[in-house]
Structure 1
Amino acid sequence: MKSYTEEEAHHGGRRPRVFVSHLAGVPVFDPNGDQVGRVRDLVAMLRVGGRPPRLLGLVVEVLSRRRIFLPMTRVTGIESGQVITTGVVNMRRFEQRPTERLVLGEFLDRRVRLVETGEEVTVLDVSVQQLPARRDWEIDKYFVRKGKGGALRRKGETLTVEWSAVSGFSLQEDGQGAESLVATFERLRPTDVANALHHLSPKRRAEVAAALDDDRLADVLEELPEDDQVEIIGKLQEERAADVLEAMDPDDAADLLSELPEEDKERLLTLMRPDDAADVRRLMSYEERTAGGLMTTEPIILRPDATVADALARVRQADLSPALAAQVYVCRSPDETPTGKYLGTVHFQRLLRDPPYALVSSIVDSDLVPLAPDTPLSAVTSYLAAYNLVSAPVVDESGSLLGAVTVDDVLDHLLPEDWRETDFHSEEGVAGGR
């Protein structure tokens, strides 16, 4: 049988490979070393065109025996018989969606055919591999046994083959199912998916939105016109809607909730995790066209004793926008908004010029006066332009960092209201009807 993990060279780097049978029952720990639960299955999404399935996350059984979904974006390590998470776990019960497949429950012991010979084989194991320089994972190989299966299968020859070497799993290109369209959307940026989604019928738009995973739908919603956002979030089950709002940037979630009736808004905020809901409520307390109303509450924050190496590790996180990754903010403990005492900013270029062991406190830029939360949009725009910034800190009267305003949020409010409805990026065809 294969080892727990393997590595292979890829474009000059090393990529970990994990055989999924060895993940069953593996303990899951948070960064503090406390056990969250155990892995019971893996969740994958099939794609069209023979492309390997994307691994969405893990089904984890927590101590209360509830099974929850842990996205792969919140998995920081799979090694030595354990899974390490970021510590942020959604405790809502896992519910399988139409486009999702359980790897242990639906892939193993399945009969498939070798493409080259047409011979039927039994899947004994499946390996997953992390893509280079990304946090995404894909299923890439089968471990199969030739023969008729059943009690006699142990006598057949075993071999490891590429995903593309077998048939029996990939989605078919024909048909109009949401699965096929969602798989096609996998190739597009969120902005392009939003543009395609906008031009579907309301019924079709709801079907596709329901089939997207939470993180993907959150990214797409952030790029849609407000009317489409409200329509889609209103057609989701309330717990699912709360999950998607949690996955959105807090400022975008606040903007969306502001468009809902008061009772719907309060009900969704109650269903969200308390920390996420608190951030959104705080943003909704500011006037829309001010620094406080524009800012995100999740910039990169470091303590004065953090090193340049620590800062670069945070900047490299794949889920950060380029604007937020352009600088880090140094605060005295606690190192989070809205209570951390702001000391200054360290820009990305400065991080590249100094040695990894240097403390961020020694290179911090404290001369730039931060924005107040009530700074109007026109003044925020002038500030970013005058100092050639893509992001700026927002600090209250007591000196606490509240968040950061990014240039993309400013542009959203400077462009015409209907700019998202313009077909400016539709060269790639999208398979989907009205």
Structure 2
Amino acid sequence: MSATRVFVARLAGCAVFDPAGDRVGKVRDVLVVYRRNDPPRVVGLIVEVPGKRRVFLSIGRVTSIGGGQIITTGLINLRRFEQRGGEVRVIAEMLGRKVAFNDGSGVASIEDVSIEEREPGDWEVEQLFVRRPKGASPFSKGQSAYVTWREVSEIAASGEAQSAEQLIATYSELKPADLANTLLDLPMARRQEVAEELSDDRLADVLEEMPESDQVEILSGLGDDRAADVLDHMQPDDAADLIAQLPEERGEHLLELMEPEEAEDVRMLLTYGPDSAGGLMTTEPIIVSADATVAEGLALIRRHDLPPALGAAVCVTLPPYEAPTGRFLGVVHFQRMLRYPPHERLGTLIDQGLEPVGADTSAAEVSRILASYDLVSVPVIDEKHRLVGVVTIDDVLDYLLPDDWRSHPEDDDEVSKRATARAQLTTGSIPIPSNARRAADGTR
């Protein structure tokens, strides 16, 4: 059972195990990023692996913390850890910092920090264990105390630069789409500087909201290792679209640097035409067995990092349960799960009327299916009837809208264009947008 709150000092030296139970290293520090109004968010652990090499382990790959050990999911990337701008090491940098009590009762130094899991995979700083300096007033509230992050404020030493932390905190409350628009308004040099300061997962979210030309420009300004880390955090279909725009040699090099599991998904997507179901789909739907229960299905769609369109249904297949799966059996919509008791088997609730599409089905046909049956996603299978992914309504909208839709405010002409697009989607007379014409040019 994973702990929901743990003090960072107690994590130092804890063993880290992979899903098979093999020890891969031990924890040396916890990495956080500051936010403007909320406590710092945990982004991962710094783990020492054999050879005294320190590597980064994303907090999203941690499945259990407790009993003096940490369990991870999947393999650990063994590239040497490099701290990004805006990231703070709790043990090495935060412990010992001075804080002032917001009620004016004095100052203290941080001796330990507790982190708490708010949602699965979402950890943040919860409490600080602080100690007042010797000689503090005997009338103060004790020499040591537990306080919440909001009860104190950090004191920056004279001349101490925290610009990176403050910069990231300024943008911390913006949604990825809003942050993308903010960055696009900046001069290129400043935009690149901010991109360098963002954490890998945050930058990945932002790049997904940008036009492809701007994605390429920012990624080209990153070192290869950093660029590969960012691509690891992107949705596979978005990463594939971005790599397809890069020079072939660099794209292949970045694929070699990416996590093997992520790179495999991207390589598969690159084999499909961009105007086909295979080119539009995402390879990470929720996949379960026919024996899984309603309770298990509902637990999976509650994941905080799951896009709403992917949470609208679960896919039922034979093993294996990662794309490409065993034989595809069907989908179960979440609304139907809500109508049945928790112990009901999902195999009995499959929508018998929903047919999957082939990976080579045209984007226009996929669009008509989604519109005709009021769906938010449709499963995609290969020639062996294995599930390889799903196309969501988000994927179709990205395909239908013009490349520069993000950078132009909507006016009367734009409203007219969207009305025309809706009519074309209904009738099937959908023109191929510019981003789909790349297939004819041989660029993907």
Q: Distance in 2 between matches of 1:88 and 1:170?
A: 38
> Which residue is equivalent to 1:30?
18
Q: 2:181 aligns with which of 182, 195, 199?
A: 195
Range that drifts further, 358-367 or 383-392: 358-367
Residue 239 of structure 2 corresponds to residue 253 of structure 1: yes
Q: Is the 8 A contact 2:36 2:173 kept in 1?
A: no
Contact 1:292/1:374, CA 8 A, preserved across alignment = yes
| Letter aligned with residue 146 of structure 1 | R
Mapping of 1:57-96 within 5 angstroms?
Answer: 57-96=44-83
Provide Cα deviations, 1:280-315, integer angstroms capped at 9, x if missing partner. Answer: 111111111110110111111112222222222221
What is the rounded CA distance, in whole Å, between the counterparts of 1:192 and 1:229 in structure 2? 15
- Offset of residue 176 of structure 1: 11
Distance 1:380 1:117 in 2: 62
The corresponding residue for 2:426 is none
TM-score, length-normalised on structure 2? 0.84
- The answer as to whether partners of 2:17 and 2:69 remain within 8 angstroms in 1 is yes
Q: 1:332 aligns with which of 318, 327, 337?
A: 318
Offset, 1:109: 2.9
Query: Does structure 1 conserve the Cα–Cα contact (< 8 Å) formed by 2:97 and 2:154?
Result: no
Q: Give the superposed CA RMSD.
A: 2.4
Specify the code of the residue in structure 1 equivalent to 2:401: L
For 1:195 and 1:222, the matched residues in 2 are separated by 12
Q: Give yes or no for contact 1:47–1:171 (8 Å, CA) kept in 2.
A: no
- 2:93 corresponds to which residue? 106
In the other structure, the counterpart of 2:169 is: 183
Deviation at 1:88, TM superposition (A): 4.5
- Partner AA of 2:322 in structure 1: E
- Residue number in structure 1 paired with 2:439: none
Cα distance in 2 for partners of 1:243, 1:110 equals 30
Q: Is 1:408 matched up with 2:402?
A: no
What are the equivalent positions in structure 2 for 1:1-16 lying under 5 Å apart?
Answer: 16=4
Note the C-alpha offset of 1:271. 1.2
Structure 2 stretches of 5 or more lacking a match? 136-141, 411-444
Determine the structure 2 residue equivalent to 1:273: 259
* Structure 1 position 223 matched with structure 2 position 209: yes
Match of 1:309 in 2: 295
Alignment of 1:29-428 (within 5 A): 29-48=17-36, 51-117=38-104, 119-131=106-118, 133=119, 135-148=121-134, 157-168=143-154, 177-423=163-409
Q: Aligned partners of 2:252, 2:384: CA distance in 1, in Å? A: 30
CA 1:189–1:171 in structure 2 vs 1: closer, same or farther (change >3 Å)? farther
| Residue number in structure 2 paired with 1:13 | none
Task: Work out whether residues 120 and 146 of structure 1, in 8 Å CA contact, stay in contact via their aligned partners in 2.
Answer: yes
**Partner Cα separation in structure 2 for residue 353 and residue 89 of structure 1:** 40
The runs of 5 or more residues in structure 1 that have no matched partner are: 6-15, 150-155, 425-434
Give the drift of 1:41. Answer: 0.5
Q: For residue 137 of structure 1, give the secondary structure of its aligned residue in structure 2.
A: strand
Aligned length: 401
Return the alpha-carbon distance in structure 2 between the equivalents of residues 357 and 171 of structure 1: 58
For 2:96 and 2:55, how far apart are their aligned partners in 1? 24
Q: Partners of 2:130 and 2:388 in 1: how far apart?
A: 54
Q: Deviations over 1:315-348 (max 9, x none)?
A: 1112111111111111111112124211111111
Q: 1:423 to 1:94 in 2, by over 3 A?
A: farther
**Code of the aligned partner of 1:29:** F
State the alpha-carbon separation in 2 of the partners of residues 279 and 40 from structure 1: 31
2:381–2:387 contact (8 Å) kept in structure 1: yes
SS of the residue aligned with 1:276? helix
1:57 and 1:31 mapped to 2: Cα distance? 18
Q: Deviation of residue 118 (structure 1)?
A: 6.0
Tell me by how many angstroms 1:223 deviates. 0.4
Q: Deviations over 1:357-402 (max 9, x none)?
A: 2222121224322111111111111001111110111112221111
Q: 1:169: Cα distance to partner?
A: 5.2
Shift of 1:164: 3.1
Cα distance, 1:399–1:171 mapped onto 2, change above 3 Å: farther
Partner-residue secondary structure (3-state), 1:383 = helix
Cα–Cα, structure 1 residues 350 and 89, in superposed 2: closer, same or farther, change >3 Å? farther
The answer to whether the 8 Å contact 2:86/2:167 transfers is: no
Shift of 1:225: 0.7
Question: Which secondary structure does the structure 2 equivalent of 1:268 belong to?
Answer: helix
CA distance 1:48–1:125, change in 2 (3 Å): same
1:126-154 Cα deviation digits (max 9, x unpaired) = 122233x46422223221222249xxxxx
- Range moving further from structure 2, 205-214 or 111-120: 111-120
In the alignment, what sits opposite 1:430? none
In the alignment, the residues of structure 1 paired with residue 148 and residue 93 of structure 2 have an alpha-carbon distance, to the nearest angstrom, of 18
Q: Does 1:21 find its partner at 2:48?
A: no
The structural deviation recorded for 1:165 is 3.2
Does structure 2 conserve the Cα–Cα contact (< 8 Å) formed by 1:195 and 1:423? Answer: no
Give the secondary-structure state (helix, strand or coil) at the position aligned to 1:232: helix
Distance 1:176 1:110, change over 3 A: closer
**Quick one: distance in 1 between partners of 2:314 and 2:16?**
30
How far did residue 19 of structure 1 move? 1.5
SS in 1 for 2:114: strand
